[in-house]
Amino acid sequence: MIKGTTKLLGVIGHPVEHSLSPAMHNAAISHLGVDFVYLPFPVKPGDLKAALAGFAAIGVRGFSITIPHKQAILPLLSEVSPIARSIGAVNTVYLTDKGWCGTNTDVEGFLAPLQTPPTPPYQGGAKDATSGLERGNTVVESDSPPYETRAVESCPPPYQGGARGGSDWSQKVAVILGNGGAARAVVAGCAQLGCAEIHVVGRSEQNLAEFQQSWVNSPMPVQNLQVHTWDNLSMLISQADLLVNTTPVGMYPQGEKSPVGEGALDRISAGAIVYDLIYTPNPTQFLKDAQLRGARAIDGLEMLVQQGAAALKIWLNKESVPVDVMRQALRQHLGLD
């Protein structure tokens, strides 16, 4: 029950009605029995500075950020974490004595299913893909042409976490499809894993060169990053231990499409990890095709849950939050159970 003592958390964006964050955060808050509530706040681009002042005035403790404010909020914050500066975007803001401080939990969310199996193990399989789009989807950025693929009747179970060949990534090769904002979080995550090589694939040579250069003087420099145009993809896939799609190709309602042609995907190594940041449909055509070739699949739902859990730990000042409750709330909300 919301009372006069209830502390406010929320998410800002424009639009924000589609956000899945209230469902998972309020489920965790209810489970913990803490006097908080998490609300969606629609904030137009021109109102961002005024919204921050208003939040401070009414005692909002923290908030998530979605499009179009992830970059625009940077100069309005008192402090920005090195990881957020490296990515160039903030997705989590919290209040301290210094004022509003920003960080980015997408890297932690991306890494979670690669480092340890979720508990309980995350299981894929959508009952109603339509409900996923109506309620929201992960936001990723396009940098590849769509590729039509055939439908697949069934696939092996989704990969439940853990690095290929163990947790040592020092000899592993990561290949990232796309060079937009989502790809920046994935590059940072692969650098934290300690991947031997990180390859980013995009369409524009100029954009790729700028992307690579942006990491040279970054607060978290990435020295082993290489960039490639799309015509090098088949060769790169044959080397990949981890293949990540950060583009929206294959997102509902175009769930029959894949960012990678079947001929190129034939070169994936059995046991390689294929990770799609999209979670609707579940699994994507890209993941289905990869699984049929012996790869292990991870979809974007676990990243969404884990980045939210990392933010909630900050706001509540807790070492742990009920991740399983958050995951189940989202699965029910999306009609996956």
Residues forming the active site: 70
> Residue 147, SS3?
strand
Question: Which residue, among 79, 90, 103, has the nearest Cα to 12 in the 3D structure?
Answer: 90
Sign of the CA dihedral running 219, 220, 224, 225? negative
Question: Could you give the 3-state DSSP secondary structure of residue 87?
Answer: helix
Whole-number CA gyration radius for the chain: 19
Entry field: residues in the chain: 337
The CA-atom distances, in angstroms, between 251 and each of 123, 137, 140 are 19, 8, 10
Nearest by Cα to 169 from 197, 194, 200: 194
Nearest Cα to Cα of residue 107 among 183, 194, 180, 189: 189
Crossing angle for the helix pair 181-193 and 205-216, nearest 10 degrees?
50
Helices marked H in the chain — which ranges?
21-32, 48-58, 82-87, 106-115, 129-135, 181-193, 205-216, 233-239, 262-265, 285-292, 300-316, 323-333
